[in-house]
Structure 1
């Protein structure tokens, strides 16, 4: 069951818990009330930002992307479409995450680094500014 109330969307998850999201004013993406997304960030209408996540000013979260729990997205970061940033991941300022990339839990993407589209970055990895990561699926 899904309910909409003044910009808030609520639905029941498979385990019976009620999930709540608010529409971000810049892009209309779904943001958990427990997340902090800067008003100057952009969250695409079909993107999700989970509780505990923080998204900095000027960051752009692409369509169908998922910023999981406790993820930090720095200022001016670009996250492509259909990207999953798993729990605890940190993305530094001005970094670029290509479309369809999958970043494991607790990954660190350094400021200015670039993760190629379709990349798979294992849990706990560090992506340096001068080293793009790409692994076969």
Structure 2
């Protein structure tokens, strides 16, 4: 069930709890009232930003993407369509996440890092940025 009241969208989840979102002014994505999305960020109208998440200036989140709880999307980062950013994940400034990618919980994308389309990144993995003279790669957190 879905209900709209002046920019507020309410859903009833599988457990019967009411979940509320507000439409972002730039793109129309759904943002939890307990999340922050910078006014210059662009959130596709079918994207979701959950409670505790922060989307910084100039970031872009594509259609059908889900920014889970306590995720940080850095300045100018680009998250493609149909992406899931797991709870507690950190996407650095200027990082890129390709369409269809699935990032586990507490993943860290360093600034400038790239995750290719349809890639699955396990929980607690660090994806190195390419700015250090090496291609983006994965390392398990210690």
Distance 1:8 1:59 in 2: 22
Alignment of 1:48-127 (within 5 A): 48-127=48-127
1:99 and 1:61 map into 2 onto residues whose CA distance is: 10
- The partner residue of 2:136 within 124, 131, 136 is 131
What is the deviation of 1:16?
A: 1.2
> Can you list the C-alpha shifts for 1:33-77, whole angstroms capped at 9, x where unaligned?
000000000000000000000000000000000000000000000
Q: Does 1:16 align with 2:20?
A: no
Which runs of structure 1 show a deviation greater than 6 angstroms over 4 or more consecutive aligned residues?
none
Q: Distance between the aligned counterparts of 1:63 and 1:16, measured in 2?
A: 26
Normalising by the residue count of structure 1, what TM-score does the alignment of the two structures yield? 0.95
Q: 1:116, 1:132 within 8 Å by CA — same for their partners in 2?
A: no
Structure-2 separation of matches of 1:132 and 1:42: 27
Aligned length: 133
Alignment-derived partner of residue 36 in structure 2: 36
TM-score, L = length of structure 2: 0.92
User: Which residues of structure 1 form unaligned runs of 5+?
Assistant: none
